[in-house]
Amino acid sequence: MAGTGALDGKVVIVTGAGRGIGREIALTAAAEGAKVVVNDLGGAADGSGASATPAEEVVDEIRKAGGQAVASFDSVAEAASANAIIKTAVDAFGGLDAVINNAGILRDAIFHKMSVADFELVIKVHLMGTFYVSHAAARIFREQTSGAFVHFTSTSGLIGNYGQANYAAAKLGIVGLSKSIALDMARFNVRSNCVSPFAWSRLIGTIPTETEAEKARVARLQAMGPEKVAPLTAFLASDRAKDVTGQIFAVRMNEIVLMGQSRPIRSVHRDGGWTCDSLASHAMPALKSSFYPLDRSADIFSWDPV
């Protein structure tokens, strides 16, 4: 893509940047003038294994296009290695201006069959990884009184999906973390936002395609390339988004959707308080019309992407 100079002179870390959405974000950030740390452990979609190749290939692509980039092979899932990612940016480019927390894995299973290990590892990579990297960067951002975080969430957490209790819990946790960062660090001119992408990636490639409905859904997802997600991410990392913080955006082809956040919907009151009987006869019937159904992401985003 042709850059607009939105990130000229900025130092940007992109985690999980060796493939898919992260790769496109790294390439776009470089095209916009950023000096990019391409971080990727190089593991499989389930988090197993490691390889330097994915990150190195993206760095080579950026350099061949005239940009500046270095590779980082450290894991986001441990505090020490997350600190090493930040150190790579400072050592290579002398500072840090934005962090894109994109790294992730999937280990899907229906809830009663999900192993403790698979739950904990997905939480470790997504939620703890986002915390570790952000926490290490926050000290730099505070001292220089500037900085931007862009964290990747998912409609699996924002809305719901089958077989992804670990992923949904992590991704909704990231929303709470992002909002807390935005609140705590606004005084230091530091911003924090979330992006929920609709785009084909190797993680999405693990979705079952056994039924015709599932095949049709995957076909729609395959049409939504990761390049559609990258421009918003670069914008949120730039000074042009100086008034945007604490928000959640979904990107679906050419659509950008501002997602809602939890707010009161309806309330009931009873003098003297509640009992189990009055809750059953009064409170729940009064509130029931406002209950959320057990929707999945595909139920809410039911129209074809445009």
Query: Tokens 């998912």 correspond to what residue?
Result: 154
Catalytic choice (132, 162, 167, 292): 167
Spatial distance between the Cα atoms of 81 and 98, rounded to a whole number of angstroms? 18
Per the CB < 8 A criterion, the answer to whether 157 and 178 are in contact is no
- How is the chain split among helix, strand and coil, in percent rounded to 5? 50, 15, 40
Residue 120: name the closest of 32, 17, 47, 198 by CA. 47
Both tokens of residue 288? 């029931």
- Spell out a b/e string for 28-45, using b for 16 or more CB atoms within 10 Å of the CB, else e: bbbbbbbbbbbbbbbbeb
Identify whether 167 is a catalytic site residue. Answer: yes
DSSP for 46-70, please give it: TS----SHHHHHHHHHHHHTT-EEE
Report the catalytic residues: 167
